[in-house]
Amino acid sequence: MADLVIALQAILGPKGWLSGADAEPYRRDWLDRYGVAPLGVARPASTAEVAAVVNICREAGVVVIPQGGNTGLCGGAVADQANAVIVSLSRMTAIGEPDLDSGSIIVDAGVVLAALHETLEPHGLMFPMHLGAEGSARIGGLIGTNAGGSQAFRFGMMQDLVLGLEVVLPDGTVWDGLRAVQKDNAGYQLRKLFCGSEGTLGIVTRAVLRLYPTPKQQASALLVMSDFAAAVSFGAFLRGEAGEFLAGLEFFSDVGLTLALKHLPDLAYQLETRGDVYLLVEIASGSTRVPLDEILASTLEWGMEQGLVTDGALATSGAQRAQFWRLREEQPEGQRLEGEQLKHDISVPPGAIARFIEAGAKLCHDILPGVRINPFGHLGDGNIHYNLSPPEGHADFDGKGAAFAEALAALATGMGGSFAAEHGLGRAKIAMADRNRSSTERALMARLKRAFDPQGTMNPGVLVRTP
Ligand code: FAD
């Protein structure tokens, strides 16, 4: 392996190759569940360097693991064996000039999502992808996981926001698919295939992304709902009233709010009463002529008359709107700071959310009485982060983690949903896919993997079983 390291160092230079203690920050995943020490971390500065790294590793039979911000929640961006090189895109951070006429931009795969938002703001443009990890997650990782986030119900997931891609394939070839058009039916939708491929089919190096005009006005409200069924009914009514202006429909529970307020003292909850379920709603428009405040206020009035909404406040300033959003976005952090946790990334048809939460609670309490259930997520597309904390006074889940995961996955699948809504499979959920997806579907994925990566050196053991 000394020869391999010398060859990589020669290509990458001193900043581009990290080993030993310098490689430590790249070793473990965000949840600290996966990751062994790799041979080292390659930090290429260009597509040509990525291709050279891939070629050298393939010739030496060394596994390559693409890594972005390493915020993924399924352990897909870290090594499970020492014979591996992590390829971090963190030095490829160029952002092109936005194409104002076409509404697109070309970016390197290592660009951090929040940096892209900041760059676009002065142009009156936005990239409609928002999630709690946006200060660290990178474009290549968001593509790798086909991230969704809070606006997916309106603008789609990453696959709907990527117009073109440049990818280094497992054999070192560079695929230049950096086209900037939405309509391109010249064959299979290769760009979409890479979205959600979790680094198993190639390393994304650059992307052309779709942009949208920043809304000129927004109206937001934080609501206390009588229960989850009320949140679903209110969400359906709001969709009808607000139509294309609906921009946010996020829910969380009092379990999560309590944890967030306990662990993040700078958070503020300003409503007079508490309840079991909260809904954050937002409507937005590119025109200043749409009476957003009126639409939201009258919808709230209807919700209160129907007994669905028990309390609520309209944001009266940008600062208050930001506070409302932080209450939702800090849900994962509040729970992480509480200690042990189990995450389940579920989706069901939006109309089935309340039924899932109720049935899931029964299953979970049968498995471990007193387990704290903290569901939060994206009501608009039925995505529930059905997370658990141990019962009060317990440090862990008495070894019952797998029982929760299997029961909830089967429940979601039975309701026509998914056990892997937006975080992917990574290393964490391959066994679950064995039980919840047909052998035909799994065999198709394995054939795709073999066609792209016959030697099996590109992130093996992630997403799909490899021999
Ligand atoms: P990494 O973790 O580095 O990698 C993720 C996967 O992509 C790995 O399999 C990796 O090999 C692959 N990959 C990385 N870079 C490349 C590349 N250049 N080419 C090919 N493959 C690559 N997700 C949502 O969808 N919605 C949410 O609302 C959401 N909220 C989150 C909140 C928090 C607090 C956290 C920690 C995570 C959240 N996530 C959410 C998880 C989400 O998957 C990641 O935040 C993000 O998509 C991963 O980006 P990353 O750059 O960190 O990727």
Distance from the Cα of residue 351 to its chain's centroid: 22
Encoded amino acid at 145, one letter: T
Token digits of residue 445: 């994925």
Distance CA 180, CA 165 (A): 9
Q: What confidence tens digit (pLDDT) does each residue in 129-171 have?
A: 999 899 999 999 999 999 999 899 999 999 999 999 999 999 9
Q: How far is CA 95 from CA 107, 112, 201, in A?
A: 5, 10, 24
* CATH code: domain of residue 197: 3.30.465.10
Of all protein residues, whose CA lies closest to atom 18 belonging to ligand 1? 140
Residue of 106, 103, 137 whose CA lies nearest to 205? 106
Of all protein residues, whose CA lies closest to atom 46 belonging to ligand 1? 142
Q: Give me the pLDDT at residue 85, please.
A: 98
Q: Does 95 fall in a domain?
A: no
Q: Which residues of 112-142 are buried (b: 16+ CB within 10 A; e: fewer)?
A: bbebbbebbeeeebbbbbbbbbbeebbbbbb
Domain that residue 267 falls in = 217-332
How much of the chain exceeds pLDDT 70, in percent? 100
The interface predicted TM-score of the complex, written ipTM, equals: 0.99
Q: How far is CA 261 from CA 29, 252, 328, 333, 334, in A?
A: 26, 13, 11, 11, 7
Of all protein residues, whose CA lies closest to atom 13 belonging to ligand 1? 141
Distance CA 249, CA 277 (A): 13
Domain end: 59, 88, 117, which one?
Answer: 88
Q: Do residues 229 and 197 share a domain?
A: no
Residue of 462, 341, 463 whose CA lies nearest to 405? 341
- Mean pLDDT estimate for the chain: 96
> Which one of 49, 145, 151, 458 would you pick to mutate in the ligand 1 pocket, going by the greatest count of ligand atoms within 8 A of its CB?
145
Domain end: 267, 302, 332, which one?
Answer: 332
HSE (side-chain half, CA atoms, 13 Å) at 190? 17
Q: Do residues 182 and 236 share a domain?
A: no
Distance CA 234, CA 217 (A): 22
How much of the chain exceeds pLDDT 90, in percent? 97
Q: Do residues 357 and 420 share a domain?
A: yes
Distance from the Cα of residue 32 to its chain's centroid: 17
pLDDT at 286 over 90: no
CB-ligand 1 contact for 303 (6 Å cutoff) = no
Distance CA 207, CA 365 (A): 45
Domain end: 88, 112, 146, which one?
Answer: 88
Q: Do residues 224 and 285 share a domain?
A: yes
Neighbours of 58 (CB within 10 A): 18
Q: What confidence tens digit (pLDDT) does each residue in 56-80 have?
A: 999 999 999 999 999 999 999 999 9
Q: Does 372 fall in a domain?
A: yes
Q: Do residues 262 and 362 share a domain?
A: no
Q: What confidence tens digit (pLDDT) does each residue in 74-111 have?
A: 999 999 999 999 999 999 999 999 999 999 999 999 99
Confidence band, pLDDT 50/70/90 cuts, at residue 262: very high
